[in-house]
Structure 1
Amino acid sequence: MDCGGGPSRAPVTRILVAEDVDDLRDTLVALLELEDDLEVVAELASGDRVVPAALRHRPDVAVIDIGLPHVDGLTTAAELRRRLPACRTLILTGLPRPGNVQRALAAGASAFLTKDGPADELIDAIRRVARGEQLIAL
């Protein structure tokens, strides 16, 4: 029986992943699950499912594709911010268009990254966002 004298585990960051491209979503989830301090609690393919899933699973960070079907990622981020303000949002985009960074920040996103960045950059960004930092990497 453990009496609490062993090493303590780092807190686990709970993550929701919303990406409509199945292969990319599966890769993101697999990549994140390799990290001891990250746990994917929900994975979705459309924007209209993000807020209900977030309210059910209470993630610390939502990684949201900007171009989700049914409800786009920026609208989803704004609604998530309104309904679950403790959940920080990281927006992913394949094509950074002028104005999207400002729109993402106005929607309450904590981070804005391109999908073509290195995997360790995304993992670092999730950890930083979970700590309350804000960042933009284009």
Structure 2
Amino acid sequence: MKAFKKYYIIPAPPEEVYNALTNPLAIRLWTGEPATMSADPGSEFSLWGDSIEGKNLEFVPGKKIVQQWYFGDDGEASIVTILLHPHAQGTSVELKHSNIPDSEFDDITEGWNTIYFKSLHEFFE
């Protein structure tokens, strides 16, 4: 199991970035795909045509999102923590993704960089 941590700058205030990450209608706008999402801890979510699925664990509006991502029966839970910090250019997004299966690491990190946060950045440009 591996971990990944990276910062991204999104050109929008933290409250707008939080909404774009938690509101299923907003998610559809920047991903182009239907999404199942709720800001209720314990709720299940699905993004990008079910290619990302998991459970929402914790929310602090405008500041923090914690999710468990599913990778089959790979022992420890894979946890995604997204922290939103005000930044001169909008929002500094601090991403921490722990317990990524070794076999999925390259695809997951490439997805964070070239799809997930690239799409979100382009949405706010």
TM-score (norm 2): 0.34
Higher Rg: 1
- Tell me which protein shows more helix as a share of its residues: 1
